[in-house]
Amino acid sequence: MNLARAALLLLAAILAGCATQTRERPEAARSRGLTPALERPGLGTSWGEQRESWIEPAPFARSSAERPAAQARIFYNDREGADAMLAFLGGEPKHCESLHLTAGPLLRLGLRGGNGEWLACRESHGRHIATADHGSRYEIVLKNDARRAVEVVVSVDGLDVMDGKPASFKKRGYALAPFETLEVCGFRTSASTVAAFRFGGMFDSYGHRRHGNTANAGVVGVAVFEEKRRPGADTGDPKDHAWRATATRPPAVAHDFSTPPEA
């Protein structure tokens, strides 16, 4: 087991906010007569095919505007990378199943493949590491365990799933009713569509193709906000709202959603 590679993978995944830039794509280097650099190993999330996923604005007043009540992260990698990361952490890893990770007493989450099966996951020293296959589709499953509504801001590879830009607690997320389960299956492109999450190489990840950065690749993160017990007056502005899933096609909404890598 290559412990040096494990250290590289783990540090690259957990050092949020680093300015690490990916190396030049090998094809580009060859075209300029240079010796190509090796691509960083491991997986990132790529921009997949368009899928229907309907949401509508949901008034939600946070009890704290920028301080979440709970946070959680799931790391993911291919089999070799996941094994190396666990070896670097040491100890005897435990197997995780389905909605295995908790964000305090409020939320449970897990990663599920496009085939409907949960991704294999192991936990060691408080870190949950899922094993994924290159090219496969996946979704993030959230389950509100609280008796009150919560708002969940979700990030993939350090990017907010709503607008595809660097994640921030200031941004609005998905509102979940008490005991509601929600599947987040892609970067949102409109109120009715998403670009599916697909595992791919670092150079093909949305983070690299859109932002030229893979510093936070391999991490799914959530921040959970509780609802204010006595919310103020509704402004009526969708920009001040969270979002909730709906079973009916929503009207067009003017909002800064995610844009394709080439845009």
SS3 category, 208? helix
For the chain, the structural domain boundaries read 3-16+44-230
Residue 15, φ and ψ in degrees, nearest 5:
-85, 80
CB 190 within 8 A of CB 51: no
Mean pLDDT, rounded, for 53-61? 93
Q: What is the DSSP letter of 112?
A: E
**Residue among 184, 200, 211 nearest 46 (CA):** 200
Express each pLDDT in 158-186 by its tens digit.
Answer: 999 999 999 999 999 999 999 999 999 99
Residue 228 CA to its chain's centroid (Å): 25
Which amino acid, one-letter code, is at 137? R
Distances from the Cα of 114 to the Cα of 174, 186, 215, angstroms = 21, 11, 26
Mean pLDDT, rounded, for 9-38? 42
Element (H, E) at 31: helix 26-31
CB 141 within 8 A of CB 109: yes
Please provide the DSSP assignment of 97-147 as one string. Answer: -SS-EEETTTEEEEEEETTSPBPPEEEETTEEEEE--TT-EEEEEEEE-SS
223 has a pLDDT exceeding 70: yes
pLDDT of residue 103: 86
Express each pLDDT in 116-160 by its tens digit.
Answer: 999 999 999 999 999 999 999 999 999 999 999 999 999 999 999
Tokens 């492109």: give the residue. Answer: 189
pLDDT of residue 249: 86
Mean pLDDT, rounded, for 77-90? 94
- Report the distance separating Cα 95 and Cα 192, nearest Å: 36
**Residue among 39, 32, 71 nearest 205 (CA):** 39
Cα dihedral 251, 242, 116, 92, rounded to 10, equals: 160
pLDDT of residue 251: 78
- Average pLDDT taken over every residue of the chain: 85
18 has a pLDDT exceeding 90: no
Element (H, E) at 49: strand 44-52
- Report the distance separating Cα 59 and Cα 39, nearest Å: 44
Mutual orientation of helices 3-14 and 79-89 as an angle, nearest 10°? 90
pLDDT of residue 172: 95
- Report the distance separating Cα 193 and Cα 197, nearest Å: 12
SS3 category, 4? helix
